[in-house]
Amino acid sequence: MPVTRLNHAVLFVRDVEETVAFYEKALSFSVVAGVPGRAAFLRAPGSTNDHDLGVFGVGQGAAPSEAGRGSVGLYHLAWEVDTLSELARVAQRLGALGALVGASDHSTTKALYAHDPNGLEFEVCWIVPADRLTPEVLERRSETAPLDLGAEIARYGAETRGGIGVSIPA
């Protein structure tokens, strides 16, 4: 039986309330259940999942993750937005929160990278729809370049629905 999609992610965090407040502000997630101070389950706007993100508090004394620097572990999670205008809005919000740490053009995806209050990295991306995957776009998919969001909006349109025929059935 093949996997069809990622249903949710779970993170260990220092402070549940601080982490919840961040994801509410940064990505408009909302709490659907939890145990104050110990755990919370959050859902992304428009999601039909029971929850998209679970967070479990391990305390302020928890050391930062060494994944990728001194140990194996998860690098980041990626959440998808529907339009480049939404990606631009998220970029502004993450910038205002001091969380935005990068923006990359991966040819087939346009990506923002940010850190949550625990230093855990996540990605927010827009995926080029299948009918716009030209040979030039596909040829460059293993490359990473700085993201020029204005140029991508001019190229694809601010309200073009991303992921159609790629991550979303056509």
114 close to 22: Cβ distance less than 8 angstroms: no
129 close to 117: Cβ distance less than 8 angstroms: no
All domains in the chain, ordered by first residue:
1-59 (3.10.180.10), 75-170 (3.30.720.110)
User: Can you tell me which residue has the tokens 């929160």?
Assistant: 97
**pTM metric for this prediction:** 0.93
Q: What is the mean pLDDT of the chain?
A: 94
pLDDT (0 to 100) of residue 169: 86
Which DSSP state fits 168? B
* Rounded Cα distance, 30 and 41, in Å: 8
* Rounded Cα distance, 58 and 18, in Å: 13
Please name the residues in contact with 136: beta carbons below 8 A apart, sequence gap of 6 or more.
none
Average pLDDT (71-96) is: 95
Closest CA to 6 of 64, 71, 54: 54
Average pLDDT (147-168) is: 95
